Structure formats: C-alpha cells, structure tokens
Amino acid sequence: MEVILLWSFYILTFYAFIPGVISRFFGFRVFKKGKSERDLALTFDDGPHPEYTVQLLDLLKTYNAKATFFVLGIQAEKCPELLKRMHEEGHLIGIHNYVHKTNWFMRPKTVRQHIEKTSNIIESITGKRPIYYRPPWGIVNLFDFNNLGHIQIILWSAMFNDWRKKVGAERLYKRMSKCCRGGEVLLLHDCGLTLGADADAPANMLIALERFLQDAKQKDLRCVRVDELMRATDANKVRNPSWLKRIVVKSWLGYERVFHILFGMKTTNPEQPIFHFRMRPYHGDPVTMDDGTVLKQDDKVLEIHFDNRRLYEIGTRSRNMMQIAIHMIRDVERTLPELADYVQSHPEVNAEFKALYGVSMINRGPEQFGFVVKDLPKSIFAWASKHYLRLIMRIIHPSGSNRVRNHTEQLVPKLIIMSRHTLLSRYGKSFAYEANKQEQTLLTSEHVVKKAPSAT
C-alpha cells in the first residue's frame, strides 16, 4: 500500500505539480504578463452568463474597452447570441474547457476533447476558430505544453478573488486599482455558476470594474485584447531585447562564424553577404530538377546557407512571417545573379558542381526562381534540421516564440534544389548572352532557308 501511495505521489508530482509550478512562476510556454506602457488586458472566465455578461458588454462598450473572454463550452451553447455579440464588438474569445474541470485530473486525450468540442462551438457561432486557451484554475498537466497543437496557453498577472461575494465591491476595487498599469493581464469572472463561486458575485465585479475603467481612462491606459497586448510585448522585445536574448543572439552569430571557418564557406559579397556556400557531395535520393537533370548520390552540389546576421536584421524589421519571406525573396533575387557570375568566373567550380542545394523553412515561393522543393526524407538529419531551424525562427521571428508555435504546421524544413544549367541560363550574364546569340543565329538560319529560292 505504501508503494502504491508513493508511486501515486510521484506521478501526481511530475504529471501535475511540477508543470504547474514552472508555468505559473517561470512563464514556461505560457503568456501571463505583457510589456507595454499603455496597454493592459482584461480577461473574463467561466461565462457567458445571460445577465452579467450582457451588463459587462454594455460597460466595455461605454468605455471603448476591449476584452478577452475565456468561455466554457457548456455556457457558450446556452448563450450563442452573447458569443456573437462579443465577436461583433471586437472582443477576443478563448477556450476554458467544455466544463470547469481541472486538467490535473484529466488524461491528455480528455483535455484535447474538451478543447476541440469548445473550439467547434465557438467557431460554429462566430465563424472564427479560437487559438487561445486558459485551463481552469490555470492548472496544466505535463502534456499540455506540447500536446495542444496551435493552441496558446494564457494565464494572468493578477487575480482578485472576485468569484466570492464576501470580498465586496469596495475591497475588490482597491485590489484592482493596484494593478492599473500597462502590461497587466487581469483575471475576472463574469459568471458565478462554477464550483466554489458565488452566483451573484459578478455584480460586485461590475461595480468595481466601472471605477477601474474610469481610473484607466484618466491614466491614458488602454484596455486591449490579449493578442494585441502580446503583439505590443513582442514589438517591445524587438526594440529592447532581454539580456538573455542578446546572449543567445551573440552566441548564435559567433557559432556561425566558427562554422564558416571550419567548413571553408565562401560568399559573393563579403561586405553584405546573403548566401554562404561550399562544395560537397550530395547524399540523398535522386531528384529530378526542373530542366530534367537528375541529381544523384555523390554528385557535387553547392550547399547554400542564408546569412544569419542578415536573417536577424530582417526579423527585427519585420512585423510578421509574410514580411520576413518577402525580404528574403528580394535578397535571393538580388544574390542569384551574383552567385551565377561567381560560378562563371571560377572554372574549377563551374566544372564540378551539378546543382545548388539548401534546406529552408521559407519554402513557399522558391519555385519562381527555378528551385525544386522536395520533402526531407525522414532521418536524424531531418529531425535535427527541423529543431535547429525552428530555434532560429524563434530567435528572429518578430512576434516571438508564441507566434511561431501557432504555425508549427507551416514550419517544416524542405530541400530547395536548382540545377547548374538553370542557375546559369536564368542568372548568368555570359551564359545568357551566348544562349541568346545561338538562338538568334538559329532564327536567322531558319529565315534564310525559308527565303532561299527553290533548286527546282
């Protein structure tokens, strides 16, 4: 019996207690507080409620404040018109499980079912699928960090025990007024029907909240949705990166310099490098390129690497993944002619390599430049490439790791390959000139043949 109790204690500790501690106190894989001078986030759990949520929406509208509602699926089913109103008035709707049950006592599969069911309800009412999730009581289990797909976990920086009526409106207001500043994520409740709550407690919350909104207005503070506070926080991090991120970036760029030296990497533009490259044998399955050339095992390739310093500069100047991709495409467009000229001016390179070869997360659009995009075969290299490139995207992405996690299904490394003939024919000056000259000669010959008098 003692052994069973001991193992039960160990399982509960590692499954529930430790994950809860590291998420709550260290902010691991969760968002719980922002960095903004002007913006704070009001969040409301357990609703919607047919009486109190209506009053709350009216109050928010009066003060032009936006909020985030983490709704229970069972309540959302009863009040679809309130979810529709929340959405239409510009508020953000997140998930709070289907019923108010802690993740500590649910299997990972059951948690996913709660989230999926509630997501479907919200999407059927608003037309928009939620991606933000607050577990009841903020409690996560061991598998929540990596088991929720695109879902972002949201906790809070301050709560006020507002689910208990005995706190009273005056005391609740005093507690809230201490957090009337930028960056805060305030946890409140617009429904008191869950276990341990008082059914009419939201009435006090509404009284205290109106005074809080008056104070926020006087201080020129904005009440925004959680996703907007996250964007403001990410922008602040880009402008003022933490000491830890500065160390990580310097270490990363230092590693790149060592890598270039050890493997003899070259570039076409030392002052403003875009590509670094080296000659090496190809190891992989045969690949048929756009011009019919087949790349085989041990054929020589020019392995290309995007300059990490340039990648970091692009990331800090861009607001989203689309802008990063656009900047990278422009740089590639500018650099491919330089690379073709380099190959043509170095006969020893020109004679040996068969294709350009690289691995990239930004693999939507390279076809327009003549690249063939292929899936990486499953291997240790593919696994390492995926995790390394996702780490890079977390470092350089303007919206931080939270945004990257929301699009993991898109962040899949792939091979990009271009034949030597395509590189030179599309981007090489002398090659294009000779090809054009030969084409003109052929056209002229055909013209002469057509115009020549018949021998008969």
Residue pLDDT, tens place only, 182-206: 999 999 999 999 989 999 999 999 9
Beta strand extents in 337-409 (DSSP E only): 355-360, 372-375
Residue 113 pLDDT greater than 90, yes or no: yes
Looking at the fold, whether 384 and 351 belong to one and the same domain comes out as yes
Domain extent at residue 201: 21-236
pLDDT confidence of residue 278: 94
pLDDT confidence of residue 145: 55
Residue 422 pLDDT greater than 80, yes or no: yes
Looking at the fold, whether 191 and 55 belong to one and the same domain comes out as yes
Q: Percent of the chain, pLDDT > 90?
A: 47
Average pLDDT, the chain: 82
**Inside any domain, residue 452:** no
pLDDT confidence of residue 198: 97
Residue 55 pLDDT greater than 50, yes or no: yes
Q: Is 117 exposed, middle or buried (CB count within 10 Å of its CB: 0-12, 13-18, 19+)? A: middle
Looking at the fold, whether 255 and 213 belong to one and the same domain comes out as no
pLDDT tens column, 322-375: 777 778 888 888 899 999 999 999 998 888 899 999 887 665 667 888 888 888
**Inside any domain, residue 449:** no
Confidence of residue 446 (pLDDT cuts 50, 70, 90): very low
Looking at the fold, whether 227 and 281 belong to one and the same domain comes out as no
Confidence of residue 240 (pLDDT cuts 50, 70, 90): low
Structure tokens that stand for 377 in this block: 């075969």
- Could you tell me what percentage of the chain is helix, strand and coil, using 3-state DSSP and rounding each to the nearest 5? 55, 15, 30
pLDDT confidence of residue 437: 45
**Inside any domain, residue 258:** yes
| CATH number reported for the structural domain that contains residue 141 in this entry | 3.20.20.370
Q: What pTM, to 2 d.p., does this model score?
A: 0.57
Rg (CA), the chain: 29
CB 92, CB 230: distance < 8 Å: no
Looking at the fold, whether 394 and 296 belong to one and the same domain comes out as yes
Looking at the fold, whether 229 and 296 belong to one and the same domain comes out as no
**Inside any domain, residue 451:** no
Which tops the pLDDT comparison, 453 or 162? 162
Residue 402 pLDDT greater than 70, yes or no: no
Looking at the fold, whether 328 and 181 belong to one and the same domain comes out as no
Among 113-117, 230-234, 424-428, the least confident range: 230-234
Give the end of a domain, one of 203, 236, 269. 236
Structure tokens that stand for 374 in this block: 């292929």
For helices 80-88 and 52-62, give the axis angle rounded to 10 degrees: 10
- Terminal-residue alpha carbon distance, the chain: 112
Looking at the fold, whether 251 and 209 belong to one and the same domain comes out as no
pLDDT confidence of residue 9: 44
Which tops the pLDDT comparison, 132 or 7? 132
Point out which residues pair with 306 in neighbouring strands: 275
Confidence of residue 449 (pLDDT cuts 50, 70, 90): very low
Sheet containing 414-419: give its strands across: 275-281, 300-306, 355-360, 414-419, 372-375
Specify which of 87-96, 137-146, 444-453 reaches the highest per-range mean pLDDT.
Answer: 87-96
pLDDT confidence of residue 233: 81
Looking at the fold, whether 178 and 245 belong to one and the same domain comes out as no
Sign of the alpha-carbon torsion through 240, 241, 247, 253? negative
Among 14-28, 180-194, 249-263, the least confident range: 14-28
**Inside any domain, residue 446:** no
Rounded-to-integer distance, Cα 141 and Cα 126, Å: 29
Looking at the fold, whether 220 and 253 belong to one and the same domain comes out as no
Looking at the fold, whether 133 and 33 belong to one and the same domain comes out as yes
Confidence of residue 319 (pLDDT cuts 50, 70, 90): low
pLDDT tens column, 139-183: 776 565 555 667 888 999 999 999 999 999 999 999 999 999 999
pLDDT confidence of residue 385: 67
pLDDT confidence of residue 432: 45
**Inside any domain, residue 192:** yes
Of 345, 351, 363, give the one whose Cα is nearest residue 306: 363
Of 400, 27, 406, 33, give the one whose Cα is nearest residue 238: 400
Helix, strand, or coil (residue 232): helix
**Inside any domain, residue 10:** no
- Across the range 419-423, mean pLDDT stands at 92
Residue 76 pLDDT greater than 70, yes or no: yes
**Inside any domain, residue 41:** yes
Give the end of a domain, one of 210, 236, 262. 236
pLDDT confidence of residue 216: 97
Domain count of the chain?
2
Of 81, 88, 76, give the one whose Cα is nearest residue 114: 76
Specify which of 98-102, 209-213, 396-400 reaches the highest per-range mean pLDDT.
Answer: 209-213
Residue 79 pLDDT greater than 90, yes or no: yes
Give the end of a domain, one of 200, 218, 236. 236
Looking at the fold, whether 282 and 231 belong to one and the same domain comes out as no
Helix, strand, or coil (residue 188): strand
CB 257, CB 249: distance < 8 Å: no
Residue 393 pLDDT greater than 70, yes or no: no
